[in-house]
Amino acid sequence: MFGFGAEEMRVLKALNTPAKIQDFLQTLRTNFDYDTDTCMSPRMVLQMRRAHCIEGAMLAAAALRIHGHKPLVVDMDAAAFDECHVVAVFRQNGYWGAISKSNHAVLRYREPVYKSIRELVMSYFHEYFDNAGRRSLRSYSLPVNLSCFDSRGWMTAEKDIWYIPHYLAKIPHVPIVTRSHIARFRKPDPIEIQVGKIVEWTR
């Protein structure tokens, strides 16, 4: 199915709920791009057993697809001094949730309790800041259905699939803050900054 082999399908079929997909992502080491930058396909993530945020989001999207969901991802764009974050999104009973591969304590799974994509994205806003405490989330994309890349074999490619992050970077994003908002941002408390520096995996 979708070009996956029997063992790959065995793993993906077992991930039959968003929570199980999230639990599986947590078993994968964070991909620190050891020798060179990577953007691995779901197949290569399964083989290498490591992933960074977009690699984890694409694996989650593929697993959701196996179980009848659309393979949707949302790109959250940050200020130039920080990094963007990509999550796989899904709907249950009309509400949105998210599956997220993050090495940090807070930019993680979201239960499907959000009425809109904006509401879901805004649940990440407060804790989205860099190590200096600068709040950085600026905009988000509408959900992108990765099936539009089926002709390029995005799920099972053995080479990096940079065309997906490049596409996410160039599509329109919905702004969530104005310059006046940014000028009035209060810096997180020291304890919040300290918690924000906690990571799950180290190099």
Apex CA 53: angle with CA 50 and CA 56, to 5°? Answer: 55
* Percent of the chain's residues with pLDDT above 90: 95
H or E element, residue 138: strand 137-140
Q: pLDDT confidence of 1, banded at 50, 70, 90?
A: confident
Backbone angles phi, psi at 147, to 5 degrees: -65, -15
Residue 77 is which amino acid? Answer: D
Backbone angles phi, psi at 192, to 5 degrees: -65, -45
pTM of the model: 0.96
Range with the lowest mean pLDDT among 65-69, 118-122, 150-154, 192-196? 192-196
Identify the pLDDT of residue 34.
Answer: 65
Residue 69: DSSP 8-state: -
pLDDT tens readout for residues 18-47: 999 999 999 999 999 866 899 999 999 999
Residue the block writes with tokens 């989205």:
128
| C-alpha–C-alpha distance, residues 155 and 31, integer Å | 18
| C-alpha–C-alpha distance, residues 123 and 163, integer Å | 28
